[in-house]
């Protein structure tokens, strides 16, 4: 049911290559690589020593010093990206009906650093030394809560947790919320700070991460024959969605219109995707069917493209099986080649990138594709490319078989 059209009017970014929409997009166009040696903890004894860290982030730019100390970094990222998105949209909370203004910001890991540090405190100093702020700093929904309090958003509020599909599901569900009339404006997306010792140790134990420690800038290599795992990134991406009526009434700049959203589950394995990509195919098809698109109308797919051997192969199979002869025409890129895999924030950051391609007619490159894997038989863009982009998909697939796909198009009356 699509009773109301939903458009995107604001974009906020915290990322390993730049913060803010304009700087982030400029870095993507230039092929700036945000992957390097891990510095946020001593990784010298870890098998994995590479990551994509957010640099030059001062939480007191967004929060009072006392409040910053009482909030996990994952919350700080969400607040910053939301403030940027609101400013980019030209929106002020006092001008909105607070009861019709909602927040859907998810996180795959939540305040994992706070959780780990507080556990260490309890074990070494005893339970009485655990901070009373531990729970509100740690629980996953608090990013959405902080943002709602900050902007007095009293409408629908939710924290989606679907691993790497989190922020695509957040945007998709926010779209549905506006379409059915439960809100007029939504802040939505994802935030993640999983580049911490316990997470790196866990993902490394699964053999999911790249161990290219001697060449960190070449570690994230989606679709390349020599890829050996993903690189953990961190950051936040937040979008402002609103009704077309609202956007037009205030003369807002419209980046694009959300016209389709596919959500499926493989229901097959706790970590591995369906080997034939059936869930991914269904999610893409659902999004395209809702949009009313045929396969020859899609210009760009911002791929999940994690740089893991299995994911890239299966996603390629899914794209070719769905798109058929159009596969050789549709452009595919992976933002993760530059910012690593930002887990619950990945899909939102990638949606921002694809929207900027619509804006400027430029598709950002996929780095480190030296020799394409024959099993990844898709049209991966490896150079900054001028191309008209009217319609695109963003793919996000998470552990547990969660699949999320957005279909977004250039706005037209």
Q: Same domain for 102 and 160? A: yes
Q: Same domain for 216 and 352? A: no
Q: Which domain-ending residue is among 226, 249, 272?
A: 249
What is d(CA 307, CA 217) in angstroms, rounded to the nearest whole number?
13
Position 3 confidence tier, pLDDT thresholds 50, 70, 90:
confident
Helix ranges, 266-396 (H): 278-291, 309-323, 336-339, 346-360
Average pLDDT over residues 272-293: 98
Q: Is residue 394 part of a domain?
A: yes
Position 52 confidence tier, pLDDT thresholds 50, 70, 90:
very high
In this prediction, residue 77 carries a pLDDT of 98
**b or e along 19-35 (b: 16 or more beta carbons within 10 Å of the residue's beta carbon)?**
bbbeebbebbbebbbbb
Q: Is residue 274 part of a domain?
A: yes
Q: Same domain for 120 and 190? A: yes
Q: Same domain for 240 and 269? A: no
Q: Same domain for 348 and 277? A: yes
The number of distinct structural domains making up the chain is 2
In this prediction, residue 2 carries a pLDDT of 64
State percent of the chain over pLDDT 90: 99
Q: Is residue 342 part of a domain?
A: yes
Q: Same domain for 230 and 378? A: no
Per-residue pLDDT tens for 104-161? 999 999 999 999 999 999 999 999 999 999 999 999 999 999 999 999 999 999 999 9
Q: Which domain-ending residue is among 185, 216, 249?
A: 249
Q: Is residue 2 part of a domain?
A: no
- The one catalytic residue in 40, 115, 159, 164 is 164
What is d(CA 181, CA 82) in angstroms, rounded to the nearest whole number?
22
Q: Same domain for 226 and 281? A: no
Backbone phi and psi for residue 157, each to the nearest 5 degrees, phi listed first: -140, 130
What is d(CA 403, CA 283) in angstroms, rounded to the nearest whole number?
6
Q: Is residue 198 part of a domain?
A: yes
Q: Same domain for 33 and 161? A: yes
Q: Is residue 154 part of a domain?
A: yes
Identify the CA nearest to 81 among candidates 62, 97, 67.
Answer: 62
CATH code at 296? 3.40.47.10
Q: Same domain for 276 and 203? A: no
Q: Same domain for 45 and 113? A: yes
Residue 227 pLDDT greater than 50, yes or no = yes
Q: Is residue 142 part of a domain?
A: yes
Structural domain of 143:
8-249
Average pLDDT over residues 287-305: 98
> 154's torsion region: left (phi>0), alpha (psi -120 to 50) or beta?
alpha
The yes-or-no answer on residue 164 being catalytic is: yes
Q: Same domain for 314 and 229? A: no
Q: In this structure, what token pair is assigned to residue 40?
A: 């946020």
Q: Same domain for 307 and 203? A: no
Q: Which domain-ending residue is among 249, 272, 307?
A: 249
Q: Is residue 34 part of a domain?
A: yes
The one-character DSSP state at 268 is: S
Per-residue pLDDT tens for 159-193? 999 999 999 999 999 999 999 999 999 999 999 99
Question: What is the largest distance, in Å, between two alpha-carbon atoms of the chain?
Answer: 64
Per-residue pLDDT tens for 137-149? 999 999 999 999 9
State percent of the chain over pLDDT 70: 100
C-alpha radius of gyration, the chain, whole number:
20
């Amino acid at each position: 049911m699509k009773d109301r059209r939903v458009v995107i009017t604001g974009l906020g970014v915290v990322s390993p290559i730049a913060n803010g929409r304009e700087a982030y997009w400029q870095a993507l166009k230039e092929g700036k690589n945000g992957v390097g040696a891990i510095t946020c903890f001593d990784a010298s004894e870890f098998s994995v020593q590479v990551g994509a860290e957010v640099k030059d982030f001062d939480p007191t730019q967004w929060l009072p010093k006392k409040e910053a100390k009482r909030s996990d970094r994952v919350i700080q990222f969400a607040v910053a990206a939301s403030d940027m998105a609101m400013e980019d949209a030209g929106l002020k909370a006092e001008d909105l009906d607070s009861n019709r203004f909602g927040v859907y910001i998810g996180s795959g890991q939540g305040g994992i650093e706070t959780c780990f540090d507080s556990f260490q405190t309890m074990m070494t100093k005893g339970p009485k030394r655990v901070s009373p702020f531990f729970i509100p700093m740690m629980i996953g929904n608090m990013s959405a809560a902080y943002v709602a309090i900050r902007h007095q958003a009293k409408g629908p509020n939710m924290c989606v947790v679907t691993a790497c599909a989190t922020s695509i599901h957040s945007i998709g569900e926010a779209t549905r919320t506006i379409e059915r009339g439960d809100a007029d404006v939504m802040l939505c997306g994802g935030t993640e700070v999983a580049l911490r010792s316990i997470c790196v140790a866990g993902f490394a134990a699964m053999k999911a991460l790249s161990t290219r420690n001697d060449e960190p800038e070449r570690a994230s290599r989606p679709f390349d024959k020599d890829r050996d795992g993903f690189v953990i990134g961190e950051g936040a991406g937040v979008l402002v969605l609103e009704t077309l009526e609202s956007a037009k009434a205030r003369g807002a700049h419209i980046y694009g219109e959300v016209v389709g959203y596919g959500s499926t589950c493989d229901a097959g394995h706790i970590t591995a995707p369906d080997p034939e990509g059936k869930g991914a195919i269904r999610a893409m098809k659902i999004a395209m069917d809702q949009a009313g698109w045929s396969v020859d109308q899609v210009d760009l797919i911002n791929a999940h493209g994690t740089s893991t051997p299995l994911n890239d192969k299966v996603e390629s199979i899914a794209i070719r099986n769905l798109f058929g002869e159009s596969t050789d025409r549709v452009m595919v890129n992976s933002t993760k080649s530059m910012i690593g895999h930002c887990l619950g924030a990945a899909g939102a950051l990638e949606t921002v990138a694809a929207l900027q391609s619509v804006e400027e007619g430029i598709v950002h490159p996929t780095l480190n594709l030296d020799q394409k894997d024959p099993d990844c038989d898709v049209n991966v863009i490896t150079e900054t490319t001028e191309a008209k982009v009217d319609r695109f998909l963003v793919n996000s697939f998470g552990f547990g078989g969660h699949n999320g796909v957005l279909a977004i198009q250039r706005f037209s009356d």
